[in-house]
Amino acid sequence: AQSVTQLGSHVSVSEGALVLLRCNYSSSVPPYLFWYVQYPNQGLQLLLKYTSAATLVKGINGFEAEFKKSETSFHLTKPSAHMSDAAEYFCAALTGGGNKLTFGTGTQLKVEL
């Protein structure tokens, strides 16, 4: 079964610093991959998605992610963190014949002054 692993349940960065949130998937066949963000007391909002069209995917709010098949990874990055980026981030993979999303355990991003 497909699984998604997010390394680091909590990541803390300084404002202006690079953000790197890690995601690895387990599948012999690269799945469709997603990054979602969840702000407090809200639902999930799509940041970006990988559909095999391009390995570097650009999303909203300056985030991007690079698909690396050799590493089975889909890490999320942002060059310069902003206070408003503080939230929980979830990596997800489409499974079940393309019908269901499998989520990682989430990474809480904290941005400090």
Partner 1 sequence: EADIYQTPRYLVIGTGKKITLECSQTMGHDKMYWYQQDPGMELHLIHYSYGVNSTEKGDLSSESTVSRIRTEHFPLTLESARPSHTSQYLCASRQRVAGVLETQYFGPGTRLLVL
Q: Could you tell me the smallest distance in angstroms from the CB atom of residue 93 to partner 1?
A: 12
**Residue 25 is a binding residue for partner 1 (CB under 8 A):** no
Token pair listed for 52: 């095999």
Taking the chain, what is the end-to-end CA distance rounded to the nearest angstrom?
41
**Residue 28 is a binding residue for partner 1 (CB under 8 A):** no
Q: Segment contacting partner 1 (CB under 8 A): 21-29, 34-42, 57-65, 76-84?
A: 34-42
**Residue 101 is a binding residue for partner 1 (CB under 8 A):** yes
Whole-angstrom Cα distance, residue 74 to residue 56? 9
Contact 109, 11 (CB under 8 A): yes
Whole-angstrom Cα distance, residue 49 to residue 56? 10
**Residue 61 is a binding residue for partner 1 (CB under 8 A):** no
Binding partner 1 (rule: CB under 8 A), the pick from 67, 73, 104, 111 is: 104
Check residue 10 and report its DSSP letter.
E
Whole-angstrom Cα distance, residue 44 to residue 36? 6
Using CB under 8 A, which residues numbered 63 to 92 contact partner 1?
A: 88, 90
Residue ranges in contact with partner 1 by CB under 8 A: 9, 32, 34, 36, 41-46, 49, 51, 88, 90, 94, 99-101, 103-106, 108
